[in-house]
Amino acid sequence: MKYISTRGNAPELSFEEAMLTGLARDGGLYVPETIPTMSTEQIADLAGKSYEDIAFEIMRPFVGQAFSDDEFRGIIARAYEGFRHDARAPLVQLAPNHFLLELFHGPTLAFKDFAMQLIGQLFQFSLARQNERVTIVGATSGDTGSAAIEAFRGLSNVDVFILFPHGRVSDIQRKQMTTPEDSNVHALAMDGDFDDCQAALKDMFNDFEFRDGVKLAGVNSINWARVLAQVVYYFSSAVSLGAPHRKVSFTVPTGNFGDIFAGYIAKKMGLPIEKLVIATNQNDILHRAMENGAYTKEGVTPSISPSMDIQVSSNFERALFDAYGRDGNAVAQLMDELKDGSFTISQGAMEVLRENFTSGRASEDETMQTISSEFANCGEVLCPHSAVGVKVANENLNEIPMITLATAHPAKFPDAVEQAVAHRPDLPPHMADMMDKPERVTRVPNDLGHLMALIKERIA
Ligand SMILES: *Cc1c(COP(=O)(O)O)cnc(C)c1O
């Protein structure tokens, strides 16, 4: 299996190379050259299997020769053993035809653990075999950083630096990043918003001298291996509701478009998905783009669902690549135009996007009301991100079962949840003492030179 760049101008890589690299050298994102498909029988055979066995079946064709079957099974087993629910991704019912996929039973209580725990094990295996050491730098709106730190802390062949926007993550998210004591963990609080953090990260990747000098590796949602890990729960949940004999739809609270893009891959692989619904908060660039074809940056307005406070949605580039008939030059041109703040999606590409995706948005008030009403109606306490999803899903219900992805545990966002349901959600017992632990964090300016110097100094 070969991986190619969405901008058509970078070397083709194997799965392992694409995983260890992250961003392509032409600024693009790696995607598989072809998407392997599963027959109806193969999908039907997933019924009744464990999450780990389904993960093996779904991901195996994408991984190529990188690992033996036994090695890959071992990697998957280690990735998910720390989850606190046997099903890993359990479904609960909200209404007759509406289900919630709880993706928050991993070590940091957000869906990012599904991909990050796997990537941690994959990196460890590959780097140990090659006797290599890498520097992982990640930008986070909150949950990626904690998930990455949890997955990589204490590993001997990795330093992990996490850039987060100072003052714009929740107390719990910050504590999760700043309280681990491992010396290979470096939490950096940057003056700016998430898009500034993400831009600094991209600039580091585009500085080849720095990139090669520190052996930079990326684990942001641009990393293909992360998208791949997320494809698995689309299959496991759909099959438990009767796929492939019955269609399902999904609603996905979306920021960087990684999670919902995984759903699109599941559909391309043959999973009968009727609709993929993009749910945004008030930072709604994706919803606006789906409505009128104009992808236009506006400033980020901080919300109660901070992990979706994003205006440049990196993985959308992968969807555009397909919508433009896999024309890397066309994508490169759009991304160039975006430097000036916007681009217009061609009519042909919009048609392809609308065949696969619909969209909706939730305001802050609607999000709060959804947390209250779902608690009153069925006793489920939603985090604000999941509530954005449920609100938009409720507008798209029909005879086909709808699965809404619950992306974080409510206790990660206790202030909003407490306001909506009149009690404070408790952290699970294993995290109860985190709020009292001392923090270790470095405040940094939004200045590329400063950041790169700091990273070089820390790993020296
Ligand atoms: C990251 C995150 C999202 C957005 O996921 P994308 O893959 O970036 O679209 C939604 N909810 C939570 C809780 C998150 O951490």
Mean pLDDT of 138-153: 90
What confidence score (pLDDT) does residue 300 get? 87
CB of residue 110 inside a 6 A radius of ligand 1: yes
Ligand 1 geometric centre to CA of 40 (Å): 30
Q: Among the atoms of ligand 1, which is closest to the Cα of residue 142?
A: 15
Q: Whose CA is nearest to atom 2 of ligand 1?
A: 307
Residue 311 in tokens? 């205006």
44-62 per-position pLDDT tens digit: 999 999 999 999 999 999 9
Mean pLDDT of 195-217: 93
Q: Among the atoms of ligand 1, which is closest to the Cα of residue 256?
A: 8
Residue 449 lies in a domain: no
Residue to mutate (ligand 1; options 100, 102, 109, 112; most atoms within 8 A of CB): 112
Has residue 142 got a pLDDT over 80? no
Residue to mutate (ligand 1; options 307, 310, 405, 413; most atoms within 8 A of CB): 307
CB of residue 259 inside a 6 A radius of ligand 1: yes
Q: Quick one: how far is CA 247 from the chain centroid?
A: 24
CB of residue 254 inside a 6 A radius of ligand 1: yes
Residue 129 lies in a domain: no
Residue 345 lies in a domain: yes
Which H or E run includes 116? helix 112-130
C-alpha 246/C-alpha 239 separation (Å) is 9
C-alpha 417/C-alpha 425 separation (Å) is 7
- Measure Cα distances from 176 to 151, 432, 440 in Å: 12, 12, 11
CB of residue 303 inside a 6 A radius of ligand 1: no
Q: Whose CA is nearest to atom 1 of ligand 1?
A: 307
Beta-carbon contacts of 452 under 8 Å, excluding residues fewer than 6 positions away, are 204, 207, 210
Ligand 1 geometric centre to CA of 94 (Å): 21
For the chain, how far is it from start to end, CA to CA, in angstroms? 36
Residue 109 identity: L
Residue 74 lies in a domain: no
Confidence (pTM): 0.94
Residue to mutate (ligand 1; options 385, 388, 405, 413; most atoms within 8 A of CB): 385
Ligand 1 geometric centre to CA of 453 (Å): 30
* Strand 294-296 relative to strand 158-165, pairing: unpaired
Residue 46 identity: L
291-334 per-position pLDDT tens digit: 999 999 998 898 999 889 888 899 999 999 999 999 999 999 99
Catalytic-residue membership of 112? yes
Show the DSSP H helices in 241-307 as ranges: 258-269, 285-292
Mean pLDDT of 428-456: 94
Ligand 1 geometric centre to CA of 70 (Å): 31
Mean pLDDT of 86-98: 97
What confidence score (pLDDT) does residue 433 get? 87
CATH code of 246's domain? 3.40.50.1100
Number of domains in the chain: 1
Residue 247 lies in a domain: yes
What confidence score (pLDDT) does residue 447 get? 97
Residue 156 lies in a domain: no
Residue 212 lies in a domain: no
What confidence score (pLDDT) does residue 340 get? 94
Binning pLDDT at 50, 70 and 90, where does residue 218 land? confident
Residue 218 lies in a domain: no
Q: Which of 2, 112, 297, 339 is catalytic?
A: 112
Residue 449 in tokens? 């030179």
Long-range contacts of 331-334 (CB under 8 A, 24+ apart): 331/6, 331/7, 331/8, 331/28, 332/7, 332/8, 332/9, 332/26, 332/27, 332/28, 334/295
Ligand 1 geometric centre to CA of 69 (Å): 30
Binning pLDDT at 50, 70 and 90, where does residue 195 land? confident
Helix (H) and strand (E) counts in the chain: 19, 15
C-alpha 406/C-alpha 90 separation (Å) is 10
Q: Among the atoms of ligand 1, which is closest to the Cα of residue 253?
A: 10
* Strand 442-444 relative to strand 185-190, pairing: parallel
CB 155 within 8 A of CB 124: yes
- Measure Cα distances from 124 to 131, 151, 158 in Å: 10, 10, 8
- Measure Cα distances from 66 to 18, 61, 192, 221 in Å: 11, 11, 39, 21
What confidence score (pLDDT) does residue 310 get? 86
Binning pLDDT at 50, 70 and 90, where does residue 143 land? confident
Show the DSSP H helices in 189-223 as ranges: 194-206, 208-213
Radius of gyration of the chain (CA): 20
Ligand 1 geometric centre to CA of 132 (Å): 31
Q: Which domain holds residue 401?
A: 91-107+225-421
Average pLDDT, the chain: 95
Mean pLDDT of 425-432: 88
Binning pLDDT at 50, 70 and 90, where does residue 79 land? very high
C-alpha 321/C-alpha 265 separation (Å) is 13
Nearest CA to 212 out of 283, 134, 285, 151 is that of 134
C-alpha 85/C-alpha 102 separation (Å) is 10
Rounded to the nearest 5 degrees, what angle is found at the Cα of 432, between the Cα atoms of 184 and 308?
70
105-123 per-position pLDDT tens digit: 999 999 999 999 999 999 9
Q: Among the atoms of ligand 1, which is closest to the Cα of residue 259?
A: 7
The DSSP bridge partners found for residue 95 are 98
C-alpha 179/C-alpha 250 separation (Å) is 35
Ligand 1 geometric centre to CA of 407 (Å): 7
Has residue 240 got a pLDDT over 90? yes
What confidence score (pLDDT) does residue 238 get? 98
Residue 323 identity: A
* Strand 3-5 relative to strand 30-32, pairing: antiparallel
Highest mean pLDDT among 147-161, 164-178, 438-452: 438-452
What confidence score (pLDDT) does residue 430 get? 84
Beta-carbon contacts of 356 under 8 Å, excluding residues fewer than 6 positions away, are 264, 267, 276, 319
Beta-carbon contacts of 390 under 8 Å, excluding residues fewer than 6 positions away, are 94, 98, 100, 251, 370, 374, 382, 404
CB of residue 413 inside a 6 A radius of ligand 1: no
